[in-house]
Amino acid sequence: MSTAAAVAGAAPAKGGKKKLLIILLVLALVLAAGGGALVFWLKARAQAAALAEENDADAGHAASQGAAKRDPKEVPVFVPLDNFTVNLADREAERYAQIGISLELGDPKAGDRIKLFMPAIRNNILMVLSHKRSPDLLEREGKEKLAAEVQRETERALGYDAAVAGKKGDDGQRPVRAVHFSNFIIQ
């Protein structure tokens, strides 16, 4: 009997090891599948974010380049501004920027209006430039953001309020189609 009891006691122990091995194997498979699903989800999310960022950048670039629907026969009007030389807001070193700007206008009459308001326009642009830091302006995104700010400030000096654009009585035409940089030096 003692031999039978020993064999009976040994059999459950051997079966217990098999059960433990099976449980660990199933657990490992579940963890591997969960990890794979997590990696797949994170990659899909990162890819969607990158695509959205690229679309935003393309939209911002198109807006900064005035890529709105245009009549190919229509000749754009460009108004070059005198170069801007301004100290930047860098704290770690004294840096300055020399920036040449040309405004692309949708209407030739807007060019005359721009010239009449030139002191206010230059003031607004200088105020924007003087608050910039060199790292902000070194990247393309920073330059595109600056172009949008210059456009906004130019239109503000002309009495155009971008916040009410598209409301009743406004035909949605902005006086400045795009801002182009003719030179961009940061030292």
pLDDT at 166: 46
pLDDT at 15: 63
The mean pLDDT value for 149-156 works out to 93
The mean pLDDT value of the chain amounts to 80
Instruction: Report the 10 Å Cβ neighbour count for 140.
Output: 11
At residue 183 the predicted structure's pLDDT band, cuts being 50, 70 and 90, is: very high
At residue 148 the predicted structure's pLDDT band, cuts being 50, 70 and 90, is: very high
pLDDT at 146: 95
Q: Specify the higher pLDDT residue, 13 or 111.
A: 111
* CA nearest neighbour of 153 among 129, 182, 185, 180: 129
| pLDDT tens profile 54-112 | 666 555 555 445 445 566 777 888 999 999 999 999 988 999 999 999 999 988 888 88
pLDDT at 162: 62
| Residue 12 predicted with pLDDT over 80 | no
* CA nearest neighbour of 180 among 101, 114, 117, 127: 101
Chain-centre distance for alpha carbon 178 = 18
pLDDT at 167: 46
Q: Specify the higher pLDDT residue, 1 or 172.
A: 172
pLDDT at 150: 94
Q: Specify the higher pLDDT residue, 97 or 174.
A: 97
State the pTM of this model.
0.58
pLDDT at 58: 54
| Residue 26 predicted with pLDDT over 60 | yes
pLDDT at 86: 93
pLDDT at 48: 76
